[in-house]
Amino acid sequence: MKAIVAALIFSIIPLSAFAGWSDFDRTDKILFSSVVVSQIADGLTTAATIKNGNGIHETFAWKYGASHPSPGRLWTVKAAELCLAYVVAGRLSGPYRKAFLGCTAALLIYCAANNGLSFSITY
């Protein structure tokens, strides 16, 4: 599982050659990093949901090809979504890029939270 997450993260490096990473300012890089982290969180919570015997809701099962996709298929789709977000962001100009990346990260955080991601502080 750790290898899959590492592969997902390092899949971003070659994309910088054609999507214009050099055009990203500091805020864009931070926002894209939040998209990567939230995509990984969503993937981990989705994988946990599947492992617990629950399926993916039929609204989203089409993109995985099944309501109980294999881990390989799940992470392949997650990597493809991340690559697509990177390419789209690279083609947008400054304010539109920031809005796109911010909304994408927020949507992924919402999806992860819907899958059971929770934060708590215990004393």
Task: Quick: pLDDT tens for 78-89.
Answer: 888 988 998 899
**121 falls within a domain:** no
Q: Give me the domain span that covers residue 40.
A: 2-12+23-114
Residue 122 lies in a domain: no
In a domain, 28, yes or no: yes
pLDDT at position 118, please? Answer: 64
Arithmetic mean of pLDDT, 3-22: 56
Residue 90's pLDDT band (cuts 50, 70, 90): confident
**pLDDT tens-digit profile of 27-44?**
988 999 899 989 988 888
Q: Is residue 18 part of a domain?
A: no
When divided into structural domains, the chain yields a total of 1
User: Is position 120 within any domain?
Assistant: no
Contacts 24+ apart (CB under 8 A), 88-97: 89/19, 89/24, 89/28, 89/32, 90/18, 90/19, 90/20, 90/21, 90/23, 90/24, 91/19, 91/20, 94/25, 94/28, 97/24, 97/28, 97/31
Query: Mean pLDDT for the chain?
Result: 79
pTM of the model: 0.76
Q: Report yes or no on 123 lying in a domain.
A: no
Query: Is 81 among the domain residues?
Result: yes
